[in-house]
A and B are shown apart, each in its own frame.
Chain A
């Protein structure tokens, strides 16, 4: 008998919701798959907003001396564009994949802390809403996403929204990081050792450690900013000896790992897709894994390369030039390993494969311009120009976003059981590639020809060629907009009426494809035992005497059979204990609104209401009845004993 029936009789405010479909099931869900899907669609909304902001920017700069928007609006728009794309699009899109894919790829049924996972999502959503509400409440932040003090202390910079909003988003990411690290370290299927983990899991693990160690630093910087603006502390006030450069150090000590937080999940995705469509294993698995870990590690030692022209001395400039050049080595290793994964394979150019190859190609360009930045004496010519804008868009758009979109096409059949339209997908890819290069390619030139960043108009005095490059960039954004619409159309069309994909449409290598598509609530009827890297592939193929791989006839593999039987047969999943839905993550996060808005003023009573609300949510969370063994502590004496304690209260 299932335990859930035991608790049915008791309905109180602390009962757990049990809706399995409909609106309530989504807002109370603790299922990592549903949360992943919610992350994805929320990202789509914010991506549209961030894209619209880039449209405003490029329209204003399409020609010299345009006055489509005022300088004030322009400054708000470019600040919000940066914040949106970094904190509300790329990071949470990575989180969407962490949510959906990590448990499936490590053979787990959910993440370690399902309710905390829901909490992370709501914090993300509300943090984003909070930031965007600034447009209606006196203007969005206009001090740049980097928030340099003392400009960000200025009361006309609206940076209070920035300080509080990023803090909320930071809480979201930090709790997610704790969750995913615990999940990956502690919930791997039997036999899934570190060196057998799929590369996406490796990169996710590194990314979440980066989050874990980088977020507290930005939290400290933001607290200082808040205390300076709200309570008059003196952290960044030069008049009393405060040092504005301290903000830069703290911000970039977070900000550079942040770059790797955005790119490493993308690298993980590409490392999954390239082998599948090359029909070869990842070239140099160990090297790719360790290069990723090395990038994460060295990534904490290069931050001041964002400050080469700041008030730092020659010794610091030299040290960070060296570390920055050093970090190019593991990045190069990865690029060559990806290329040689394709080498000698049989390449199938599906849409995810095209986006992955696009990633390797575009990311290389971003990496190379990155090396030119490390030449410090010339960095002084490059920094704060459009050359830098070109560089980081090649890394984050040509890099991270290309790979994340590849992931969307690749795992879409996993999530929906349907294929995305390949024809539309390829149209999307080629227009995306064209639009991207048309937008950001010319920026290399306009930057080197002297166009500074963050200017509300394009000064006419910069000359005709700069104007030409800007016009090309603006046309490129229009192409990207069309391309994005194709993508959206493809998504909707394929969700509604995509061709059924079957459980393994790509002849994949990793075990998320061992489960149904879409996976059952409990992911795996029986947790698979792992004996190889690329476990799923090894269940499908064996090597003959000559060492040549051959397909294993269906049903012949010893490991394959029982699982197939169980999936269809005696496992109806009813006896599998899954975490129950809960209202409390949502309720608790709602309390962040009064806290957040209260901090802007500050308005103490509003903060008070919020804090009490959050605390109540917290206690509700703690004393929520345990329906199916979610929260009961392990019994000290006999861990194998049945969890009878649940029914006792």
Chain B
């Protein structure tokens, strides 16, 4: 927590600096320092709509200036003067030619916008041309699950992809116990990679994403999904192909089996029995740690086989590296992130003792 507070303070300072910056540079230039900005595409599926909207914004700006200009001009020019003689102005009822003009011209402009809009609707929704990778996405309340069918990898909240490779997301929503009946609608959104696409229980929707740069990208669930909607963030991680291959190698390997000390105790506490009873006092009831035997079958909660290889957890709102945060989380999850275990949604408070937490933390950090 201390790190977090420090980070916040730093952010505050940055905010103050940026306040001055914003006023100095003008409001629009501030766009660059918003990490989840929809105005700074870094992939072709975000770039194309961006290029399409720019002229539309320009047209809108032009019409805005035109109309507001006409209003201001009328207000100034045609105001009643103090020396008004009380006579009436000419009683004009209309002007057919003018009216046809401002019916036809906007219609033509809109038609001009409509054609490329429709073209792009089809091109962005179609399968990517050439080679592409598929990732299956499941929106849960309130975290994201990613499954890589090519590699049999399960991970959570952090979507790792190779750079300059088109990825087609096959998305649905479900929870708990992967039961579509209890899923709600979410929306997948990493603005710098692509626009959003809703994720609907019982149906599959598709979204193409691609990263043009190596980096870490912010995203979030964009469709209101209940209590912890704001705590359902997404991280996009784009890696060089070689780094991605290394990541795949790590993720496809079975979990580390700690043999001694605290971590081994933690592994024992974690349990191995899979069942879907939420609230059962065993981590394995909901979370999978794949030991290399049998198939990888995900539980109700996120797959933790390589928990320590991730940077953030719990809907990407907490830092894995922050041990205090992890401890607080284990101590009482619903206090850290609003959840509804009584409604079978989210992680319940397991009443763990401090010793148990020590052991579990050691184990979790061992899961590289």
A residues with CB within 8 A of B:
64-65, 70-72, 75, 142-144, 148, 150-151, 154-157, 237-239, 241-245, 278-281, 283-287, 309-311, 313-314, 317-318, 321-322, 325-326, 328-329, 332-333, 335-337, 339-340, 342-349, 357, 360-361, 364-365, 368-369, 371-372, 374-385, 445, 447-457, 459-468, 541, 543, 548-550
Contacts and interface: CB of A to CB of B under 8 A. Distances in A.
B119 to A, nearest CB: 9
A239 B203 contact: no
B222 interface: yes
Nearest to A384: B222
A381 B122 contact: no
Given A156-B343, A321-B118, A325-B113, A339 B74 contact: yes
B202 interface: yes
Across the A-B interface, the 5 shortest Cβ-Cβ residue pairs:
A380-B195, A238-B202, A450-B36, A239-B181, A455-B230
B280 interface: no
Given A154-B184, A283-B92, 6 more contacts: A311-B200, A336-B99, A344-B90, A346-B78, A462-B36, A464-B18
B180 A361 contact: no
Interface string B60-74: 100110011011001
A244 B95 CA distance: 49
Contact of B91 (A281, A333, A357): A281
Contacts of B222: 383-385, 452-453
B226 interface: yes
Nearest to B32: A465
A71 B198 contact: no
A332 B106 contact: yes
Contacts of B106: 328-329, 332
A343 B73 CA distance: 9
B258 interface: no
A424 to B, nearest CB: 21
Contact of B27 (A317, A445, A461): A445
Contact of B218 (A71, A326, A450): A450
A346 B103 contact: no
Given A157-B226, A325-B114, A340 B98 contact: yes
A71 B78 contact: no
Contacts of A150: 181-185, 201
Nearest to B17: A464
B187 A309 contact: yes
A332 to B, nearest CB: 5
Most buried by B among A155, A286, A379, A449: A449
Given A347-B74, A372-B56, A549-B91, A318 B122 contact: yes
A378 B47 CA distance: 10
Contact of A75 (B33, B78, B124, B226): B226
Contacts of B203: 238, 243, 245, 311
Nearest to A78: B224
A356 to B, nearest CB: 11
B197 interface: yes
A314 B117 contact: no
A375 B121 CA distance: 9
Interface residues of B, number: 103
Given A347-B74, A372-B56, A449 B189 contact: no
Interface string B168-211: 00000000000111111101010100111110111101000000
B53 A378 contact: yes
Contacts of B39: 448-449
A448 B227 contact: no
B263 interface: no
B224 A333 contact: no
B31 A465 contact: yes
A479 B58 CA distance: 31
Contacts of A237: 181
20 contacts: A71-B228, A143-B226, A148-B185, A148-B224, A150-B185, A154-B226, A279-B89, A318-B118, A321-B117, A328-B106, A336-B67, A346-B89, A364-B64, A378-B56, A383-B196, A450-B35, A462-B35, A463-B35, A463-B37, A549-B91
B50 interface: yes
Given A279-B89, A375-B113, A155 B220 contact: no
Contacts of A347: 74-75, 78-80
A362 to B, nearest CB: 10
Contacts of B33: 463-465
A314 B191 CA distance: 20
Interface string B7-36: 010010011011100100001101101111
A465 B203 CA distance: 37
Interface of A is mostly: helix
Contacts of B114: 321-322, 325
A281 B107 CA distance: 26
B134 to A, nearest CB: 18
Nearest to A286: B94
Interface string B266-289: 000000000000000000000000
Given A335-B67, A349-B79, A450-B38, A372 B60 contact: yes
Nearest to A291: B103
B230 A364 contact: no
B19 A336 contact: no
A543 B182 CA distance: 72
A119 B233 CA distance: 48
Contacts of B103: 287, 329, 332-333
Given A238-B203, A347-B74, A465-B31, A311 B93 contact: no
Contact of A385 (B27, B38, B48): B38
Contacts of B57: 372
Given A375-B52, A454-B224, A342 B74 contact: yes
A339 B70 contact: yes
Given A71-B228, A461-B218, A468-B18, A345 B52 contact: no
B120 interface: yes
Contacts of B99: 284, 287, 333, 336-337
B200 A151 contact: no
B251 to A, nearest CB: 25
B94 A287 contact: yes
A450 B236 CA distance: 15
A281 B93 contact: yes
B94 A285 contact: yes
B60 A65 contact: no
A211 B170 CA distance: 39
A245 B27 CA distance: 38
B49 interface: yes
B225 interface: yes
B110 interface: yes
B88 interface: yes
A365 B338 CA distance: 37
Contacts of A456: 229-230, 338
A309 B196 contact: yes
A466 B121 contact: no
B84 interface: yes
Nearest to B7: A460
B223 interface: yes
Contacts of B183: 150, 238
B60 A71 contact: no
A571 B310 CA distance: 87
B350 interface: no
A104 B348 CA distance: 63
A239 B179 contact: yes
Contacts of B191: 381, 450
B347 to A, nearest CB: 16
B184 A151 contact: yes
Given A368-B60, A464-B33, A384 B196 contact: yes
Nearest to B54: A378
A473 B331 CA distance: 37
Contacts of B19: 464, 468
A313 B225 CA distance: 22
B80 A452 contact: no
B340 interface: yes
A245 B117 contact: no
